[in-house]
Structures are given as C-alpha cells and as structure tokens.
Structure 1
Amino acid sequence: MSSTPPPPGDREKIVSKLPAPLQQELKVRTAQHNLDIQDAVEAGISAWSGLGSNLPSIDTAGAKAFSTWLPAGQWDNFKSACRARGVPLVQGLAQSVSTWLQNNPAPGVQRPAIVKRFVVCNQKGGVGKTAVTAGVGQALAESPEQLYPVAISKHFAIARTSADPAADVTAVEQLPGPGLRVLLVDFDPQGHLTKQLGHELLHLDGDSLTKHMAGEAKGKLEDLVVAVEDDRFDDRLHLLPSCTDAFLLDVKLSGVRAREAALERALSPIESDYDVIIVDCPPSLGLSMDAAAYYGRRRDAESLGNSGILVVVQAEDSSADAYGLLTNQIDDLRSDMHLELDYLGIVVNHYDARRGYIATSSLDSWMAIRDPRVVGLVGDLKEQKEAVRVKQPLLAYAPQCPQSLALRALAREIA
C-alpha cells in the first residue's frame, strides 16, 4: 500500500487491495451512475469515516491490486481512522466501497413512456437490413448489470483512409447494457432474420403475422413469439418469426379496411410487453411497406425521435438509387395521410475502404446528406458472416469485434 505525489487538481494516487467481486461491482455501478471510480471511493471513505460504529467484516481473502486518485490528505486521514478503529486498511477500504454501493443502488432501467418502434428498411436487398436489425436489438437488450465495449468515435472520415473499417473507432468506452425488452419482427417473407437467429419459419398452414394483419388470425400473436437465447439478454430479446405467406401480404392487404394500420392493429396486443419493437422490412415498396412506415409514425404525445424510419444503405451507387425511391414513398405517405413520420437516420453498412473510390466517394455523398443524417458506420468484416453461419447472435458470438462495438454505438444513438 502506497501513495504518490498529487497530480494537478490536488489528488494523489493510492494503491491498495480490494476483493475482485467488489472491484467489478464498483466498476459497473459507477458506470450506471455515470461517475468516476475515484469520486465514488472518495464519497465511500467519507461516509465510512463518519459512521459511529464498525461494520460487519467483509471477506477480503484473495484481494487484488486496486488503485485510484483521492484528494490530497484523505488517504492519510483514512489510514489513521483505520488504526483508531482497529480495522486493517484493506478491510476499511472494502467497507468504504461497500458503503458507497449501499448508498447508491443501481438505477432502474429507463423505459420509454410509449414503446419505441424502429422500422428498418431500404427498397434494395442485400444492404444488411437484417444484420442491423438484429444487432441493434441485441445491443438494446444487453444486461444493465454488465459492462460492454461501445465505440464512442463519430469521426467517420477516419475510416475512409484505412483498409480497416474499425479505424473509425478512436476510443472504446465500457458501458452497462440498456436492459430494454426488445421484440424483433421478421417482416420479410424470405425469413433471413428468423434463420440467422437459429429459429424456423412459421408453418404455412399455421398462424402468422400475415394472417393477423389480414384478419385471418387463428390464435394470439403472443403465442408465435420466441426468445433469443443467451445469458446476456436474460429473456429480454424476443423474435416474431416470419412465414412464407408474407409473399402474399400485399394481395391480402388490398382487401383490408384501413390497410396502412394493419401492422399496428396486429402488434398492438403485445406492445405493452416491450420497450422497443424493431421491424425488419422486405426490399419492397408495396402495401406492406406502407403498413410498416405507418407503424413507425409519431403518435399523439410521443416525443420526437422516439420512433421512426432507419434507412440502411451501402457505400455504392445502387443504394443511392433505392434510397431515392424509398424517400419518395415516405414523402407521399406523409402528405397523403398527414403523418408525422420521422427518420431516425441513415446507417452505412458493409463499409470497406479497400474497395476504393466507389466506396469512399459514396460515403462522402451519404455524409453530405444532413436530413436525415448518418448515425452509424458498420464495417464489412468476417464476424457477422461467421455468426450467421453458426446461427448465433453477433453480440454473443463476437462481443468484442468492431461490428459489435459499432452496433452498440448505433443503438445508443437512436434510442
């Protein structure tokens, strides 16, 4: 145990020991409260020093090295207090940290007043809508009691000069998972989201989302929902699988009353079970896309940006053409139905600067769009393809990879 001269700001570095579980709990709790560890330890020592009696002993066997910065003089005063109370210094520090933890319980998960509804779309197929849908959902459902690496750089231009899309990540911050209850809706008849997460498509002769939207339901929609299994999600991440009958959805919707609201009517019975519902749309501009866009509209008393359209593109010309078609459809819906329909932003997916001028110049073009703006840049790396092959969630398969870090950042940006 030692101390070093105080740095600027009149603090000194102290080195001691603390049980590893207590260190981890302190690390998570301070992140949950958006505090520095040094401030928590300072407050804990002050609170412990003011107690009128000693606390029950804490098991400090196997304590690991621990260091932080405290106000000049506090550590010396603390050592004197430990001697006066007959408490070993490591035990006193453990009790001080425990005191702070008890005085600052974990904050509850911040749940939206109105369920967030993210509609992930682009008329062009193959841009990675499904990967973005799954990744954002996973990131929002991660445990609030664990810390996860999140990319905090937004300097997208850095990535343009590197063969590695991860070069944009100039810093990584360890943050608690949001802990939200998330439903992923596979709205694409091809069922890529369902298959990638290791589930089977619903039977054609059974119940389905299509049947609920067309007024042909055979049971409750909640009975079709399945869990995406992994300890980090702890039953917070669910999936509504696709069914191939969705290929007929536009035909069925043509005869449905108020067809634009068909998806909302189908999902409304289960909305209260979730904080976020993310719809993975098919590459279509038909009636099904109208229903999906309508579902993402801003409702009465809903805050701006709580829900809306998330457009996934690639850094190449055909994505730009498809983007124009999609935005025209959105504009028509806005004007024809007088909808308050917000864009959550643009995600440039599968980006790889090694593809040269086409990729880098296309990224420049996307970045030049200010409304909606680019809110995420996700690299084209092998981990996503590997996760799809083994039918595992990316954030469980490769939680530290650059794609996972970027998807966590995107989730926090739009949520």
Structure 2
Amino acid sequence: MTAPYDPGDREKVVAKLPADLRKELKVRAAELGRDIQDAVTEGVEAWRKAKGRPAVDTSGGTSFATYLPAGLYGKLKQACKSRNLSYNQGIAQSVRLWLDSNPSPRPKPARVTGARRIIFGNQKGGVGKTSVSAGVAQALAESGQRTLLIDFDPQGHLTKQLGYLMLDIDEASLAKHMLKEAKGELSELLVPIKGGDFEDHLWLLPACKDAFLLDAKLATTKAVRIKETALEKALEPLEQEFDFIVVDCPPSLGYSMDTALYYSRTRAGEDSSTSGIVVPVLAEDSSADAYDMLYDQIQDLVEDMDVDIALLGFVVNMYDSRKGYVATSSLSEWQNVGDPPVLAVVPELKDQREAVRVKQPLLVHAPYGDQSEVMRAVARRIST
C-alpha cells in the first residue's frame, strides 16, 4: 500500500514503545526490505480505518522516533482522541497491525558456505572505514542477524572507539591465529557489544598491535598460498555461528589486504554479491585515486587466484554539499560509475563524532539520527 503523501514532506514523531515491539518492527522491515518510516506510515493509515484493535502492552516503553508524512501525525492524534487512547497506544497498535499484515517471509534455505563475509576497505586512511563498518554491523545485528565485527587494523581505532581494550601484544590474537602461533580457540577472544536493539546479536574481535607484523611474516612464509588463505583458515571455525562477518580492513595494499579480499570472494555454491567488498570514499579526488589502486589490487588477485570478488558498492562518507563544487561534482562522479553502485551517502553530522567521543556505538548514541538511518539502508542493500 502506498500512502497518498509526498514522501519528501515528513515530520519527526516520537513515541514510547516496548523494546520487543521495536525490535520486531526493525527485524521485519529489514526482512522485507522496507524503510521503517514507510512501514509505520502504512500501519497508521491502516489503523485509522480499522475497528476494535486489541490493546498493546506498552509498559516499560522507551523512546522510538520515526518520520510520518506531514499531516498524518495530526490525523493520528485526532483518531487517538476519538477512541480515548493515548498517542503511544495508537502508535503501538499501528505498528502491531503492520506486523500482523506483513508476516515474515519464509526462512531462507540454509547457507552451504557459512556466514556472509563483508569487508570494508580502501587503502586511503580517513575515509571512514571504521565508522561505516561499525554502523553497518550494528544495523545488521539490529535486524536480527548474528554479526561478528572484526577490527583487522593494527591501529585499533574500531576497538577503542567502541570502548574496548586492544589485545595485549603477548596475548593470543587474530594475527597469531592466522600464523598458527596461538593456543586456544579464536572464539575465546570475542566480546559482546552491548546496548541498543542489537544486543545479543553483535560481537567484536578486538585488534592487537601484533598485526603490524603480519605483512612481514606473511611475506616470508614458505607455506603455499598462506598469504591469501590465512584469514579464511583462522575464521573458518566461527562461520557457522554467525550470519554476517564484517571486517574493518587496514588502510594498506599489503598481504593483509590480500587475505581480506580473498576471504570476501564468491565461493562455490554461493550467489554473486552474497559476500564482497564495500568501499567507503569521500567526495574528493584523492579517494578516487586510492580506489584506482585498490581496484588494480583486486583485479590482480582475481586473475592470479582465478576467483570472483564482488564489488558491492561505494559509501560516500562525510558528505556536505556546502563544501561546494568539489564535493557536489565528486559525488556525481561516484554516482556515474554505475557498477559498482553508490549504496548510500552519509551526511557530515556530529552524531558519529560524538559517539566516538563517548565510546558508544552510533546506533546507541543517536539511534534515530540521519547517519544511523543511512547505516540501516546500507545493511538492507547488502543483506537482500
């Protein structure tokens, strides 16, 4: 059903919904590839026409924000008043009605290749690989996907920005497991990321400074093909435990990046674009130069290893049209590439910087901000 409103003319509304209902809405919208605001709009329209809807338990409700078409908010309040209901109850019943009218699709067939593997890479630093990979992983987990987020950058920005400690240089680490120098199981290093509607669905594999040595050790190993397969072999025991494994790659073109690229390849029996690489960029020329270098590296690996690596798309990060011609023309150039596509444009806002400052996940610090909504949009595009 399409609401008879201009989709660009919306107003923000805030209500209090119980956590279970809020989570169910986000998961269902993700399953069906729908924007949450469109789902709520359809629910409100249907609820206004419905009669005798059962009450929804809204006790313990917490803040939930979305955008309704201008004018619909007022009509909703009028309908609530005429039915002697609170506004929160009206929104809750609308959401419940949409969920009941849009059942979950049938379960997808079991994957034969384990978790879907999404890497975020660009050899240029400062383009937002860490913030975008973290935000998308949170959105995937929020939609009900068991997600592992890996800090594969020895600088450890992802680990520190989320408020966790890097692994000690003498401890077991991902790098040591890749080089077969670690005892124990890699799963012992995972930590749950708490907060928001993704709780119990998101885990972090923290960084360790020993990853600075990884390229040199991979370069000197005599084992056949370990340079490309080391990451896959280390992560293989974890794959059946997760729906998605998201890797924040280092800003380099070395052997570490080769292992990540190989890990994201399309495996036998796997549909194209099930896994692959997302490239965060900025709307400026140096990002384009960096992408050219990354593309060459990908093509060299594809030819050398006879594999397919899906370029899932670009995320243009920290975009601000007020920067003028350089920004707007660069964005147009990214959009004109066509294949891979621009998955989303992340606006330059304070939310992500504030989240880093207070060491909170973006979808916890500003769950209803524009940047969080973009992360959800990217998650929907790569998960469908």
Q: TM-score, normalised by structure 2?
A: 0.76
Equivalent residues of 2:43, 2:98 under 8 A apart: no
Q: Which residue of 2 aligns with 1:342?
A: 310
Give per-residue Cα distances to partners, 1:233-257, cap 9 Å, x unaligned. Answer: 2210100000000000011212044
Describe the SS at the equivalent of 2:240.
helix
- In the TM superposition, 1:9-20 aligns within 5 A as none
Gaps of 5+ in 1: 1-7, 9-19, 49-56, 69-87, 143-177
- In the TM superposition, 1:227-238 aligns within 5 A as 227-238=192-203
Distance 1:221 1:205 in 2: 15
Q: Which residue of 1 aligns with 2:275?
A: 307
In structure 1, which of residues 234, 245, 254 is the aligned counterpart of residue 210 of structure 2?
245
1:197 corresponds to 2:165: no
Equivalent residues of 2:25, 2:99 under 8 A apart: no
Describe the SS at the equivalent of 2:237.
helix
Identify if the C-alpha distance between structure 1 residues 384 and 258 changes in structure 2 by more than 3 Å, giving closer, same or farther: same
Identify if the C-alpha distance between structure 1 residues 298 and 65 changes in structure 2 by more than 3 Å, giving closer, same or farther: same
In structure 2, which of residues 75, 89, 104 is the aligned counterpart of residue 107 of structure 1?
104
Greater C-alpha Rg: 1
Look up the equivalent residue of 1:118 and give its one-letter code.
Answer: I
Equivalent residues of 2:265, 2:275 under 8 A apart: yes
Q: Which residue of 1 aligns with 2:127?
A: 127
TM-superposed deviation, 1:103: 7.6
Describe the SS at the equivalent of 1:297.
coil
The count of aligned residue pairs is: 330
Equivalent residues of 2:320, 2:348 under 8 A apart: yes
Describe the SS at the equivalent of 2:328.
helix
In structure 2, which of residues 230, 238, 242 is the aligned counterpart of residue 262 of structure 1?
230
Equivalent residues of 2:43, 2:97 under 8 A apart: no
TM-superposed deviation, 1:38: 7.3
Give per-residue Cα distances to partners, 1:350-404, cap 9 Å, x unaligned. Answer: 1111211111111111111011111110012111111001100011001121111
Deviates more, 1:348-357 or 1:285-294: 348-357
Equivalent residues of 1:191, 1:241 under 8 A apart: yes
Distance 2:356 2:210 in 1: 23
TM-superposed deviation, 1:124: 0.4
Describe the SS at the equivalent of 1:232.
helix
Distance 1:60 1:229 in 2: 25
Equivalent residues of 2:175, 2:210 under 8 A apart: yes
Describe the SS at the equivalent of 2:104.
coil
Identify if the C-alpha distance between structure 1 residues 103 and 412 changes in structure 2 by more than 3 Å, giving closer, same or farther: closer
TM-superposed deviation, 1:107: 3.3
Describe the SS at the equivalent of 1:345.
strand
Distance 1:207 1:61 in 2: 46
Identify if the C-alpha distance between structure 1 residues 240 and 109 changes in structure 2 by more than 3 Å, giving closer, same or farther: farther
Look up the equivalent residue of 1:304 and give its one-letter code.
Answer: S
In structure 1, which of residues 288, 294, 304 is the aligned counterpart of residue 256 of structure 2?
288
Distance 2:248 2:99 in 1: 42
Q: Which residue of 2 aligns with 1:15?
A: none
Share of identical aligned residues, percent? Answer: 48
Over the aligned positions, Cα root-mean-square deviation in angstroms equals 3.7
Distance 2:161 2:78 in 1: 42
Gaps of 5+ in 2: 5-15, 60-75
Distance 1:316 1:271 in 2: 37
Equivalent residues of 1:195, 1:201 under 8 A apart: yes
Distance 2:367 2:243 in 1: 23
Deviates more, 1:241-250 or 1:113-122: 113-122
Describe the SS at the equivalent of 1:311.
strand
Equivalent residues of 1:109, 1:180 under 8 A apart: no
In structure 1, which of residues 271, 277, 300 is the aligned counterpart of residue 245 of structure 2?
277
Look up the equivalent residue of 1:232 and give its one-letter code.
Answer: D
1:37 corresponds to 2:43: yes
Equivalent residues of 1:208, 1:224 under 8 A apart: yes
